């Protein structure tokens, strides 16, 4: 690896067994993720072990007094859509060496953060198990990123997001030591509070803070099924149960409080049977009513994609086919989707929205019964509102819809020339009961910017939407849209009691709006938590409580290059 003559790089390489690099190509690779930002790091470290990470943390903590610019940001797969793993100082890339599946139990897995989710899933499926809170990018992302962002996905409607599945974490804190965190009793917390060390200090301060501000914390929890904005303080202390789970403060913290080195994740058994019920809407007039009815039937997943996404799938049908299977080509894909095309033709327009309602169960009869219930509920809309419906016949049949839903973002990034995908309002969530009012108002806001091309996909059952605009980032006028539109969309989301980020976290793009969402008093508690764990701000600056709009806007890409 190329160290160069950077003093910090040379000193770190003398300390650790892993590689320290400051070569131009590595720095460029780590300067971007799947977001709209580019931040060039000073150097990249590939630690070979937990001991290496510990030594790097101790070094930065000591040298911070001499060089205030030093800090650490962890990176694994680099698929983050918010700029979360970007930093001007030191990047710790754990994907190269800290990437093992350490243990696979009967209902849990112990993993290292650099492990790709696809490799975890391959191993768990051999035991008919799965981690249920995987994101749409499951073929690309790492488990470290999943925990760091408190990710969710298509199964979160039924099983909840990552915070519900983290059984324990090992974390290197500000003092460079590795600690284990999991759910413990209040009696155990009180014993830890007696310790005369950094761990004892953390437990004393966190226990006191959470008890003192219990009412404010509970009141501030968003009334949405998913949330990854802020620190999850409401999930730590359960006075009624007498438990205290400090692992939860690191879930969704984006590496701003410490460096996670090991994760114990809960697993579930895979239900063997599934069927999908597809609903095509030519307008959104009856969407709110349909969502309410579908949710009463208890679907495992309730997803959606819009007309622009469908256009994209038709245009790149060959690639969609190859993503489904090696045997699937453009002709097979078109043949199997022919019934879809006839439904679209009969609607006399491309449907405004396609809803995917999937049911799973232990028996096929159980699944079919659920399909019959939802179909009976939809019949009046089919007869009176021009709604079209379809039930998939096979798992491959359903996979075509899943592939369109999951791959639209990657197709946009790869195929559209002269524009850049800019995910800055991409993860908003509101209570589903508000959708009938919220979506028309959102549409009106977006129509104020006719130059924007965008797709909308989402987790309809949660009221969670991913809006991905395409923009010419070389055009300064286009870049100026970003903060203006953010303010308008986020204000609308908060008006309906939603969250700015359901599952992607804040990073550089939403961090500056955290106080707007939670208010000054709750934001102040978040700042206290940051100071308890990271008093010298060595972990992932410019995120969470340290986010700064001026800094974020200064690091927006000014070209249309897709780096990752």
Domain borders along the chain are: 7-97, 101-269, 271-415
Go through 412-451 and write b for each residue having 16 or more CB atoms within 10 A of its CB, e for each that does not: bbeeeeebbbbbbbbbbbbbbebbbebbeebeeebeeeee
CA distances in angstroms from 336 to 240, 309, 330, 343, 397, listed in the order given: 54, 18, 10, 13, 8
Q: Residues 485, 492: contact at Cβ < 8 Å?
A: no
Which residues, including other chains, have CB under 8 Å from residue 234's CB and lie 6 or more apart?
A: 217, 218, 220, 221
C-alpha span between 144 and 169 (Å, rounded) = 11
Task: Kindly state the tokens that stand for 229.
Answer: 């904005």
The CATH number fitting domain 271-415, selected from 2.70.98.10, 3.40.50.1370, 3.30.70.2190, 3.30.1330.20: 3.30.70.2190
Which of 281, 285, 223 is closest to 440 using CA atoms?
285
Task: Kindly state the tokens that stand for 498.
Answer: 């939603």
Q: Residues 307, 394: contact at Cβ < 8 Å?
A: no
- For residue 436, name the pLDDT band (cuts at 50, 70, 90): confident
Q: How many CB atoms lie within 10 A of CB 212?
A: 11
The CATH number fitting domain 101-269, selected from 1.10.150.120, 3.30.465.10, 3.30.390.10, 3.40.50.410: 3.30.465.10
Residue with tokens 């033709």: 345
Same fold, 7-97 and 101-269: no
Q: Any bridge partners for residue 247, and if so which?
A: none
**In this predicted structure, what is the pLDDT of residue 325?**
54
- Torsion sign (Cα): 158, 502, 476, 69: negative
DSSP secondary structure string, 226-283?
---SS--GGGTEETTTTEEEGGGGTTTSTTSS-EEEEEEEE-EEPPSEEEEEEEEESS
DSSP secondary structure string, 123-180?
HHHTTTEE-S---TTTTT-BHHHHHHHT---TTHHHH--GGGTEEEEEEE-TTS-EEE
- For residue 6, name the pLDDT band (cuts at 50, 70, 90): confident
Q: What is the pTM of this model?
A: 0.93
pLDDT digits (tens, 9 = 90+) for 354-391: 999 999 999 999 999 999 999 999 999 999 998 999 99
In degrees and rounded to multiples of 5, residue 119 shows phi and psi of: -75, -35
C-alpha span between 279 and 353 (Å, rounded) = 8
**In this predicted structure, what is the pLDDT of residue 133?**
96
C-alpha span between 313 and 333 (Å, rounded) = 10
C-alpha span between 289 and 433 (Å, rounded) = 9
pLDDT digits (tens, 9 = 90+) for 496-509: 999 999 999 999 99
Share of the chain above pLDDT 70, in %: 91
C-alpha span between 140 and 117 (Å, rounded) = 7
Average pLDDT, the chain: 92
Q: Is 454 helix (H, G, I), strand (E, B) or coil?
A: strand
**In this predicted structure, what is the pLDDT of residue 323?**
56
Tell me: pLDDT of 138 over 70: yes
Q: Domain 7-97: which topology?
A: 3.30.43
- Tallying the residues shown for the chain, one arrives at 564
Section 469-493 average pLDDT:
93
Indicate the burial class of 208 (C-beta count within 10 angstroms; 0-12, 13-18, 19 or more). Answer: exposed
**In this predicted structure, what is the pLDDT of residue 456?**
87
Q: Any bridge partners for residue 306, and if so which?
A: 353
Task: Kindly state the tokens that stand for 32.
Answer: 């971007």
C-alpha span between 95 and 515 (Å, rounded) = 33
Q: Residues 358, 370: contact at Cβ < 8 Å?
A: no
pLDDT digits (tens, 9 = 90+) for 22-38: 999 999 999 999 999 99
pLDDT digits (tens, 9 = 90+) for 306-358: 888 887 777 766 665 565 555 455 556 555 565 665 566 566 667 889 999 99
pLDDT digits (tens, 9 = 90+) for 55-86: 999 999 999 999 999 999 999 999 999 999 99
- For residue 404, name the pLDDT band (cuts at 50, 70, 90): confident
């Amino acid at each position: 690896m190329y160290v160069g003559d950077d003093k910090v790089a040379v000193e770190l390489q003398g300390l650790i067994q892993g590689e320290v690099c400051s070569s131009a190509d590595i720095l460029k690779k780590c300067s971007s993720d799947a977001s709209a930002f580019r931040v060039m790091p000073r150097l990249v470290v590939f630690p070979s072990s937990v001991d290496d990470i510990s030594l790097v943390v101790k070094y930065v903590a000591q040298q911070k007094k001499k060089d205030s610019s030093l800090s650490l940001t962890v990176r694994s797969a680099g698929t983050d859509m918010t700029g979360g793993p970007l930093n001007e100082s030191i990047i710790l890339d754990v994907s190269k060496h800290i990437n093992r599946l350490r243990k696979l139990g009967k209902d849990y897995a112990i993993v290292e953060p650099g492990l790709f989710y696809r490799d975890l899933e391959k191993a768990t499926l051999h035991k008919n198990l799965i981690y249920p809170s995987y994101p749409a990018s499951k073929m690309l992302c790492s488990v470290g990123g999943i925990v760091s962002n408190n990710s969710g996905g298509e199964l979160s409607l039924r099983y909840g997001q990552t915070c519900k599945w983290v059984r324990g974490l090992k974390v290197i804190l500000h003092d460079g030591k590795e600690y284990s965190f999991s759910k413990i009793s209040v009696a155990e917390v009180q014993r830890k509070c007696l310790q005369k060390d950094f761990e004892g200090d953390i437990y004393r301060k966190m226990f006191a803070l959470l008890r003192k501000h219990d009412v404010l914390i509970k009141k501030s929890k968003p009334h949405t099924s998913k949330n990854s904005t802020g620190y999850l303080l409401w999930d730590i202390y359960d006075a009624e149960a007498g438990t205290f789970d400090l692992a939860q403060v690191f879930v969704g913290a984006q590496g701003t409080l410490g460096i996670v080195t090991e994760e114990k994740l809960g697993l579930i058994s895979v239900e063997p049977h599934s069927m999908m019920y597809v609903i095509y809407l030519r307008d959104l007039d009856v969407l709110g009513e349909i969502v309410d009815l579908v949710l009463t039937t208890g679907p495992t997943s309730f997803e959606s994609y819009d007309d622009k996404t469908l256009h994209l799938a038709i245009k790149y049908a060959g690639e969609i086919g190859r993503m489904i299977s090696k045997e699937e080509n453009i002709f097979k894909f078109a043949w199997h989707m022919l019934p879809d095309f006839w439904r679209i033709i009969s609607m006399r327009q491309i449907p405004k929205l396609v809803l995917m309602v999937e049911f799973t169960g232990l028996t096929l009869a159980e699944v079919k019964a659920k399909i019959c219930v939802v179909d009976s509920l939809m019949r009046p809309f089919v007869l009176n509102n021009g709604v079209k419906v379809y039930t998939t016949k096979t798992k491959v049949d359903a996979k075509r819809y899943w592939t369109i839903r999951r791959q639209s973002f990657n197709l946009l990034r790869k195929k559209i020339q002269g524009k850049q995908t800019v995910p800055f309002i991409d993860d908003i969530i509101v209570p589903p009961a508000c959708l009938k009012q919220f979506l028309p108002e959102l549409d009106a806001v977006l129509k104020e910017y006719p130059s924007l091309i965008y797709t909308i996909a989402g987790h309809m059952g949660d009221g969670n939407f991913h809006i991905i605009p395409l923009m010419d980032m070389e055009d300064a006028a286009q870049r100026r849209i970003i903060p203006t539109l953010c303010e308008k969309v986020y204000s609308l989301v908060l008006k309906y009691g939603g969250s700015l980020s359901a599952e992607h976290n804040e990073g550089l793009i939403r961090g500056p709006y955290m106080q707007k969402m939670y208010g000054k008093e709750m934001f102040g508690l978040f700042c206290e938590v940051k100071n308890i764990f990271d008093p010298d701000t060595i972990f992932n600056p410019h995120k969470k409580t340290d986010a700064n709009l001026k800094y974020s806007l200064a690091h927006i890409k000014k070209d249309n290059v897709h780096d990752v």
